[in-house]
């Protein structure tokens, strides 16, 4: 249940300052800019467009050095003086998206960014954003996640990072399970301990995220260490069935260890140069068309996933939700209507995909053999690429989102459903339009469409941004986004488009 928040925090945190390792940053004298004194020390931010902003706020110790590597996260040490919080922190270790074979991140990344109407304001609702990135990438400094619009509407907005790929998700003997989920929980605990100093109400926290971020929120909803740390949750395009049982987690890890050519030990992983570690991209790519891997993973071929460890994630989230474990948490869930076009349209793959792709999905997920034809008759596509794209998007995102909604209602909880229908006019290499693709909804929620012209074009509808952003704000403030709650008979859903 959500009650007894502070007792949960005290029992779980164990964060007495005297027990912490040395704080790695130098404290600086404060001059101008807003100054906030949180539990561990003072922070100086900046004022941007009338909003008080604190970037790179220290939360967890650097997870890539010394004893912190492949370990459960720990809060940073207390400090004296005032620390500058005006520069974004590092990002988690991941393969570079700009330099083939390159490395990015891997430093002091467990930092938070905070936007607030004004430090010390009375109990503003709090929203904590968990970014997506397929569990291989994560960047809470992405300009799409600028929280100014939320702060102007009376919300304290926080963005968090978590370890991804090998460090965050791989099942490694001798390493704490589900490190990424532990990182997210640490951020939620930090919010409970400190957000009041920024004007936030620790008793009114909404955690929200998109794609992998939403997927992992489905785990946080039922994770015992996260219980009591948030009141509401928004899941945007969650692959909410993307978790491993322990045996499959072992099999997946064994194949990756063999790919690296190392022993399955903490020491062997920690000894790998970062440049070798990020070659996981070749392994991930090879599994996208591997029939045996698809069969082992039940059709969701993503490599890095949380696993049921009995402590951080006791069981499959949707099953725990159906049991009523989240009936005291309000949930808003939805997906985009053409999710997988984000992956097949930009590079032109949608024009080259053959019938084998859909058949592989049908075999591995044990779907009806006539499903392709049923999609065709339903107007979901004509070519093999279009039909596979529609099926894959539904399988990975839309149906798991529906499963969360159905499970929440069956467990006695409240849920609201939405569908993102606006179709981006941006054209991919084959001439196909991007459409209502995965991730296109994010800048509308944050009202950062100017930062997303590559995916949205030059004139995305601002009325849509106003509608989605206002609904998210309303949900965070009072638990109601403004439309009829979901039930399994009428299945009422808000369809967001130029006219919603």
Classify residue 457 as exposed, middle or buried by CB count within 10 Å of its CB (0-12, 13-18, 19+). middle
Angle (CA) 475-402-327 rounded to 5° is: 55
Question: Rounded to an integer, what is the distance from CA 1 to the centroid of its chain?
Answer: 23
Hey, what are 209's tokens? 């995220």
- Residue owning tokens 């130029």: 498
Separation of alpha carbons 371 and 377, rounded Å: 10
Beta bridge partners of 54: 114
> Which residue, chain included where needed, has tokens 């589900």?
178
- Give CA–CA dist 131/15, Å, rounded: 25
Nearest in space to 227 (alpha carbons), one of 177, 201, 190, 188 = 188
Sequence-separated (6 or more) residues with CB below 8 Å from residue 480: 416, 474
Catalytic one of 74, 84, 135, 211: 211
In the residue annotation, 438 being an active-site residue is answered as: yes
Active site residue 339: yes
| Whether 210 contacts 237, CB under 8 Å | yes
Residues forming a β-bridge with 57: 112
Residue of 337, 339, 386, 406 with catalytic role: 339
SS (H, E, C) 365-417: HCCCCCHHHHHHHCCCCCCHHHHHHHHHHHHHHHHHHHHHHHHHHHCCCCEEE
Residue in 52, 364, 407, 438 annotated catalytic: 438
Tokens describing residue 149: 């619009």
Q: Which two tokens stand for residue 29?
A: 């004298």
Pairing of strands 111-116, 200-210: unpaired
366 is catalytic: no
CA distance 393 to 381: 13
Give the residue numbers marked as catalytic: 211, 339, 438
């Amino acid at each position: 249940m959500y009650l007894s928040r502070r007792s949960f925090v005290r029992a779980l945190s164990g964060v007495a300052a005297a027990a912490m390792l040395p704080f790695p940053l130098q404290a600086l004298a404060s001059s101008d800019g807003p100054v906030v004194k949180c539990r561990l020390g003072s922070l100086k931010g900046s004022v941007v467009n009338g909003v008080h902003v604190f970037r790179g706020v220290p939360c967890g110790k650097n997870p890539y050095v010394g004893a912190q590597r492949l370990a459960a996260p720990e809060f940073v040490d207390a400090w004296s003086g005032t620390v500058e919080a005006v520069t974004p922190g590092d990002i988690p270790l991941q393969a570079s998206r700009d330099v083939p074979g390159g490395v990015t991140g891997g430093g002091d990344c467990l930092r938070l960014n905070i936007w607030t109407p004004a430090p010390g304001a009375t109990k503003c609702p709090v929203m904590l954003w968990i970014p997506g990135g397929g569990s291989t990438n994560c960047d809470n400094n992405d300009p799409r996640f600028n929280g100014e619009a939320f702060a102007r509407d009376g919300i304290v907005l926080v963005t968090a990072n978590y370890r991804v790929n090998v460090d965050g998700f791989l099942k490694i003997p001798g390493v704490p399970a589900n490190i990424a989920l532990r990182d997210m929980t640490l951020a939620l605990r930090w919010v409970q301990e400190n957000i009041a100093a920024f004007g936030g109400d620790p008793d009114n926290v909404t955690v929200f995220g998109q794609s992998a971020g939403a997927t992992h929120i489905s785990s946080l909803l039922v994770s015992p260490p996260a219980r009591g740390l948030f009141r509401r949750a928004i899941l945007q395009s969650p692959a909410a069935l993307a978790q491993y049982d322990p045996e499959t987690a072992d099999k997946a890890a064994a194949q990756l260890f063999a790919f690296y050519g190392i022993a399955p030990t903490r020491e062997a992983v920690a000894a790998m140069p970062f440049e070798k570690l990020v070659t996981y991209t070749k392994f991930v790519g090879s599994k996208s068309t591997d029939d045996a891997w698809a069969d082992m993973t039940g059709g969701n071929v993503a490599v890095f996933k949380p696993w049921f460890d009995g402590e951080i994630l006791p069981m499959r989230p949707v099953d725990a939700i159906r049991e009523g474990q989240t009936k005291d948490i309000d949930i808003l869930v939805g997906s985009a209507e053409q999710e997988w076009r984000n992956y097949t349209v930009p590079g032109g793959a949608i024009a080259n995909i053959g019938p084998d792709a859909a058949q592989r999905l049908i075999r591995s997920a044990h779907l009806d053999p006539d499903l392709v034809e049923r999609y065709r008759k339903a107007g979901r596509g004509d070519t093999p690429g279009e039909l596979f794209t529609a099926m894959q998007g539904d399988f990975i995102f839309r149906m798991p989102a529906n499963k969360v909604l159905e499970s929440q209602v069956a467990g006695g909880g409240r849920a609201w459903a939405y569908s993102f229908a606006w179709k981006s006019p941006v054209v991919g290499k084959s001439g196909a339009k991007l459409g209502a693709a995965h991730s296109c909804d994010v800048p509308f929620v944050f009202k950062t469409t100017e930062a997303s012209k590559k995916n949205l074009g030059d004139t995305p509808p601002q009325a849509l941004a106003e509608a989605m952003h206002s609904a998210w704000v309303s949900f965070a403030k009072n638990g109601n986004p403004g439309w009829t709650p979901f039930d399994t008979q009428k299945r009422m859903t808000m369809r967001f488009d130029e006219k919603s």
